[in-house]
Amino acid sequence: MNKVDLSVSIGTLQLRNPIMLASGTVGYGNEMAEFIDLNTIGAIVTKSLSLKPRKGNPPQRIVETPAGMLNSIGLANVGVEEFIKTKIPFLQKYDVPIVCNVAASNIDEYAECVNLLTDENSIKAFEINVSCPNVKEGGLQFGNDLAAVGKVTAKVRAATKKPIIIKLSPNVSYIADFAKVVKQEGGDAVSAINTLVGTSFNIFTRKPKIFSVTGGLSGPAIKPVALAKVLEIKRNVEIPIIGIGGIMNWQDVVEFMIAGASAVQIGTLNFINPSAAKEILSSLEDFCIKQNLNKLSELTGSFLI
C-alpha cells in the first residue's frame, strides 16, 4: 500500500503513477520485464506502429553526442497485425496500461491503424506520433504543419473512443499553437517532446556519422528545451501534458511536473538503467512524504514565476 497517492489522470486515462516508458525505448515490453516489474509502472508506450511492418534505416543508426544521443531507427517495427498477434499476448499478462504509439505516412493511415487496434482491451490510449518524415501532405513533416496536425487529430478522434494523445515535435517555433489545435480537434492530451533534429560528422572522413545524415537528439542534452516547451503549453493551453526529454532521475520528474506535466515518459535512460523507473518511483514517494504532499499530482503546474 502506497503511503502517498501517486496516481494521475491524463484526460480519461487513469494511471497508478506518472512514470510512463517512452515509445522506442521499451521495445514491446518483454526485454524490460527482465529488469523491472511492469505492474509497477504507470504505462508502457509501444514503439511507433505502422500499418505495415518497417525494416527501418541501415546502420549506423545511433551516435553518442555530448550529454545525449542521436538516433535514426527509421521507425523499424513489426506492423499492426504482428503486434496484435505476437506482442499483445505478452503484455496482457501484466496489469499495466498499454499506450499504443502510431505512426503513418498519410492521414488516412493513422486512422486505419487506430481502427484496427481500438478493440484490443489492453490498449488504454493512443499516442499519435506526428513527427515522422516521408509524409505525402506537401512533403512536410506532419509535426511542422498546424493544419495537418489538426486533421490527424480529428481523424483519429473519429476512429476511437479511447483517449488520444498527440506527441508533438519540438522542431517548431511555437509549440503551444499545436497543443491548441489538438485540443480544438478533440485530442485528450499532448506529449512533449519528441526528439530534436541533430547531426554529427566524422572529422577525418568528413561524412555524417549516421546513415540518414540527421537523426533525433535525445537524453539530458534536451531537458531544458523540453521543460521550456512543457511550460509554454501549460501557460497557453488547458490540456494535460506528458513531459518527455532527458529525464534521468526523480528530480527531473519533479521539475517536469512543476513546469506543467501531469505525467512523464522515460526514454534514453531505459537503455542505460533499465530498472530506473522503479528507483525513481520510490524516490518520488519519499519526496512527497518529506514535502508533505498527499497527492503527487498537486505538483503539476505548481511553478512560481
Partner 1 sequence: MFTVNAPVKELIELDHKIFLQKIYCPEIASIVQPGQFLNVKVSNSYYPLLRRPFSVCDVEGDYIYLMFNILGEGTKLLAAKKINEPVDILGPLGNGFTSEGDYNTAVIVGGGLGAAPFPFLIKRLTDKKEVMTFIGGRSIHDVITYGMKNLFTSTDDGTTGFKGNVVALLKHKISELKKSKIKIPLKEFSLENDFDCEVSTECAMACGFGICQGCPIESTNHKDKYLLVCKDGPVFNIKDVEL
Ligand X SMILES: Cc1cc2nc3c(=O)[nH]c(=O)nc-3n(C[C@H](O)[C@H](O)[C@H](O)COP(=O)(O)O)c2cc1C
Query: Which positions are catalytic?
Result: 132
- The distance of closest approach from Cβ of residue 48 to ligand X in the complex, given in angstroms and rounded to an integer, is 3
Selected from 100, 179, 210, 222, the binder of ligand X by CB under 6 A is: 222
Contact 222, 254 (CB under 8 A): no
Phi, psi of 265 (to 5 degrees): -125, 135
Selected from 194, 262, 297, 300, the binder of ligand X by CB under 6 A is: 194
- The distance of closest approach from Cβ of residue 18 to partner 1 in the complex, given in angstroms and rounded to an integer, is 21
C-alpha–C-alpha distance, residues 268 and 273, integer Å: 9
Which residue's CB is nearer to partner 1, number 11 or number 220? 220
Which residue's CB is nearer to partner 1, number 277 or number 296? 277
- Within 20-79, the residues that bind ligand X by CB under 6 A are 22-25, 47-48, 71, 73, 75
Eight-class DSSP state of 216: E
Contact 263, 42 (CB under 8 A): yes
The whole-angstrom distance between residue 259's C-alpha and the CA centroid of its chain comes to 17
- The distance of closest approach from Cβ of residue 66 to partner 1 in the complex, given in angstroms and rounded to an integer, is 8
Write down the H helix ranges in the chain. 80-82, 88-92, 107-117, 146-159, 175-184, 223-236, 250-259, 269-272, 276-290
Residue 143 contact, options partner 1, ligand X, none, Cβ 5-8 Å cut-off depending on partner type:
none
Residue 270 contact, options ligand X, partner 1, none, Cβ 5-8 Å cut-off depending on partner type:
partner 1
Angstrom CA distances, 117 to 86, 112, 128, 232, stand at: 14, 9, 13, 32
Grid cell listed for 16: 497508478
Which residue's CB is nearer to partner 1, number 42 or number 163? 42
Q: Which residue in the block uniquely carries the three cell numbers 550529454?
A: 67
- The distance of closest approach from Cβ of residue 42 to partner 1 in the complex, given in angstroms and rounded to an integer, is 18
C-alpha–C-alpha distance, residues 223 and 230, integer Å: 10
Which residue's CB is nearer to ligand X, number 101 or number 160? 101
Residue 55 contact, options partner 1, ligand X, none, Cβ 5-8 Å cut-off depending on partner type:
partner 1
Residue 194 contact, options partner 1, ligand X, none, Cβ 5-8 Å cut-off depending on partner type:
ligand X
Residue 238 contact, options ligand X, partner 1, none, Cβ 5-8 Å cut-off depending on partner type:
none
- The distance of closest approach from Cβ of residue 273 to partner 1 in the complex, given in angstroms and rounded to an integer, is 7
From residue 241 to residue 270, the character string flagging contacts with ligand X as x (rule: CB under 6 A) and all else as - is ---xxxx------------------xxx--
Q: Which residue in the block uniquely carries the three cell numbers 489538426?
A: 150
C-alpha–C-alpha distance, residues 298 and 212, integer Å: 43
List b or e across 111-148, with b for residues whose CB sees 16 or more CB atoms inside 10 angstroms. Answer: bbbbebbeebebbbbbbbbbbbeebeeeeebbbbbeeb
In the complex, the residues that contact partner 1 under the rule CB under 8 A are 24-27, 31-32, 34-35, 47, 53, 55-64, 67-69, 71, 73, 76, 219-220, 248, 268, 270-275
Which residue's CB is nearer to partner 1, number 55 or number 206? 55
- The distance of closest approach from Cβ of residue 73 to ligand X in the complex, given in angstroms and rounded to an integer, is 5
Report strand pairing: 241-244 vs 263-266: parallel
Binding site for ligand X (CB under 6 A): 22-25, 47-48, 71, 73, 75, 101, 129, 167, 194-195, 218-219, 222, 244-247, 266-268
